[in-house]
Structure 1
Amino acid sequence: MKIYSLSGASGTGKSTSALQFAHEHNIPAIIDDGLLIVNGEKVAGTSAKFEKNTLKAVRRAIFEDESHKDEVIQALKNGQVDAILIIGTSDKMTGKIAKRLQLGEIMTYVHVEDVRTEKEIQMARFIREIQGKHVMPVPYRQVEQNFFKRLIQRGKEIFSTNREKIGETTIVRPDFHQQTITIARSVYLDVIKHVVEKNTIVSRLVHLHFSIVSVPRVVIEIQIAAPVSYYIPDAIKQLQQEIADSFQFHFSIGPEEINVKIVGIETTIR
């Protein structure tokens, strides 16, 4: 069996990237947070995200419980998989899991920075640290909903480059994740309005739509100032960059989308 390791700090998006990485490298099986996932479906194990505190979650993830470990070992033997990806917070952790599951030595070590951009990692941290959401790389229908009292929702479908569906994710908020930061929607809006209103090309902010289902998205409609003695595309790009920089400064994340629509031109006195 070919054994791969994917490691990175908590909340950097390893589970989200795992299905795509496994597909690209012809790896049918994934070990993630105590689960054995084969071809995008949960086959055996119990997720560490079901535990009530962090210590128990870590123990679950590294298969310290004998019955849990034996269940996954047997499923691996029955499935006869030829390659597996082990996910953990460090190379040491994935090595420990490989040893516990009697898989042998890890052949290839990959880190989350190798498969995700800095922006994607920042977005993943935002979802984890601000919203307290954790991603499981298994379909919504396979998650035992009674374990989660506060949040469980569909994540997203994962597709290959040729649009073949290779799996799904589910978003949960485990009981052990108690520390979240609440940022009022009005704070995000105030930041956007401040940037837009101080920009010299903008005469008026006509409409602002802000959504944050998972990560921030911004849609604004503006009237620009006359006379138009500037190159509009460059001016709009500069406005988008100013909004992104302000979000980065205040929230340590840039919006995934910043769409600007010009709806008119008017003369204004500043």
Structure 2
Amino acid sequence: MKVYSLSGPSGTGKSTSALAFAHQLGVEAIIDDGLLIVNGVRVAGVSAKFEKNTITAVRRAIFTDEVHREAVQKALANYQVQSILLIGTSNKMTNSIAKQLALGPIAHYYCVEDIRSLKEIQKARFIRQTQGKHVMPIPYRQVEQNFFKRLVQKGMEIFGPKREKIGETTIVRPDFQREYIDIDKSVYVQLLTHSCRQQALVHKVEHVQFLLGEQAQAILTIQIKLPLDGSLAERLYALQQAVQQEFYQHFDYELDAIHLHVKAAKRP
């Protein structure tokens, strides 16, 4: 069996990228948080995300439970798995998984920075820290929703380079995920408003909208001051940069888009 490792800190988006990366490598199976996933479908195992605390979650993820371990080993044999990607928070963890499941030595080690951009990693951390959301690289229909009292929702469909569907993701918030800060949208609006008001160009901030979905976007409607010192385009770009810097300073994440609407120009 060809064994591959993908490691990186929690909340950096490993599970989000797992299906596409495994497909890119030509790997048929994935071990992620205690689950055995073959060709995008869970075939055995119990997810560590079902556990009630982080200690039991880690134990589940590295297959310390004998019944759990043997069930996954049996499925590996039944499905005649020839290649597998092990996902963990470190090489030490993926080596432990390989040893527990008797998979043999790991041939190739990858870290999350090899497959995700800094921007993607920052976004994943931002979502984990502010919303407590985790991604499972299995279809929504395969998630035992009774385990999650607070959030279960469909993620996204994953497609290969030829637009063939290779799997789906599901978003959950495990019971043990309590270390996130739930930030009301009004906080983002207040910060963006304050950032604009600090700029000499801005006469008045009329409206601010913050959108957090696939992308984090700010929509700012402003009045500007006359006379203009320099070109308007350059001044507006500088305003965008200032807002971006302020947002990053507070949340360690850059906005994906900042839309500026100039409604009027007035003399101070």
Q: One fold, TM greater than 0.5?
A: yes
Letter in 2 for 1:211: L
1:18 paired residue number = 18
Identity over the aligned pairs, expressed in percent?
55
Post-superposition offset of 1:42: 1.2
Farther-moved stretch of structure 1 (105-114 vs 199-208):
199-208
Post-superposition offset of 1:200: 2.9
Post-superposition offset of 1:34: 0.4
Q: Which runs of 5+ in 2 are unaligned?
A: none
Which residues in structure 2 correspond to 1:22-41 (within 5 Å)? Answer: 22-41=22-41
Post-superposition offset of 1:38: 1.5
Q: TM-score under structure 2 normalisation?
A: 0.92
Letter in 1 for 2:118: E
8 Å CA contact 1:2–1:84 kept in 2: the answer is yes
What CA distance in whole angstroms lies between the structure 2 residues aligned with 1:241 and 1:24?
Answer: 36
Q: TM-score under structure 1 normalisation?
A: 0.92
Letter in 2 for 1:267: K
Taking a change above 3 Å as real, the CA distance of residues 110 and 190 of structure 1, as seen in their structure-2 partners, is: same
8 Å CA contact 1:126–1:215 kept in 2: the answer is no
Post-superposition offset of 1:196: 1.5
Farther-moved stretch of structure 1 (156-165 vs 67-76):
156-165
Which residues in structure 2 correspond to 1:113-192 (within 5 Å)? Answer: 113-192=113-192
1:99 paired residue number = 99
Q: Which runs of 5+ in 1 are unaligned?
A: none
What CA distance in whole angstroms lies between the structure 1 residues aligned with 2:182 and 2:109?
Answer: 36
Residue by residue over 1:215-251, the C-alpha shift from the partner in whole angstroms, topping out at 9 and shown as x without a partner, is 6321223344444553344333322222221111112
Letter in 2 for 1:231: S
Post-superposition offset of 1:214: 6.4
What CA distance in whole angstroms lies between the structure 2 residues aligned with 1:41 and 1:119?
Answer: 28
Quote the RMSD (CA, aligned, Å): 1.9
8 Å CA contact 1:127–1:214 kept in 2: the answer is no
What CA distance in whole angstroms lies between the structure 2 residues aligned with 1:161 and 1:206?
Answer: 44
1:266 paired residue number = 265
1:43 paired residue number = 43
8 Å CA contact 2:223–2:266 kept in 1: the answer is no
Taking a change above 3 Å as real, the CA distance of residues 27 and 70 of structure 1, as seen in their structure-2 partners, is: same
2:89 paired residue number = 89
1:54 paired residue number = 54
Which residues in structure 2 correspond to 1:67-86 (within 5 Å)? Answer: 67-86=67-86
Residue by residue over 1:144-172, the C-alpha shift from the partner in whole angstroms, topping out at 9 and shown as x without a partner, is 00000111112222233443332221111
What CA distance in whole angstroms lies between the structure 2 residues aligned with 1:44 and 1:136?
Answer: 14
8 Å CA contact 1:35–1:47 kept in 2: the answer is yes
Q: Secondary structure at the match of 2:220?
A: strand
Letter in 2 for 1:170: T
What CA distance in whole angstroms lies between the structure 1 residues aligned with 2:207 and 2:7?
Answer: 43
What CA distance in whole angstroms lies between the structure 1 residues aligned with 2:14 and 2:60?
Answer: 18
Farther-moved stretch of structure 1 (142-151 vs 117-126):
117-126
Residue by residue over 1:180-219, the C-alpha shift from the partner in whole angstroms, topping out at 9 and shown as x without a partner, is 2132322211110011122233333333221234663212
Number of aligned residue pairs: give it.
268
8 Å CA contact 1:127–1:215 kept in 2: the answer is no
8 Å CA contact 2:130–2:180 kept in 1: the answer is yes
Taking a change above 3 Å as real, the CA distance of residues 172 and 236 of structure 1, as seen in their structure-2 partners, is: same
Letter in 2 for 1:193: T
1:230 paired residue number = 230
8 Å CA contact 2:39–2:167 kept in 1: the answer is yes
What CA distance in whole angstroms lies between the structure 2 residues aligned with 1:75 and 1:3?
Answer: 16
Post-superposition offset of 1:258: 2.0
Residue by residue over 1:93-134, the C-alpha shift from the partner in whole angstroms, topping out at 9 and shown as x without a partner, is 101101111111100000111112222212111211221111
Letter in 2 for 1:268: R
Q: Secondary structure at the match of 2:235?
A: helix
Taking a change above 3 Å as real, the CA distance of residues 21 and 249 of structure 1, as seen in their structure-2 partners, is: same
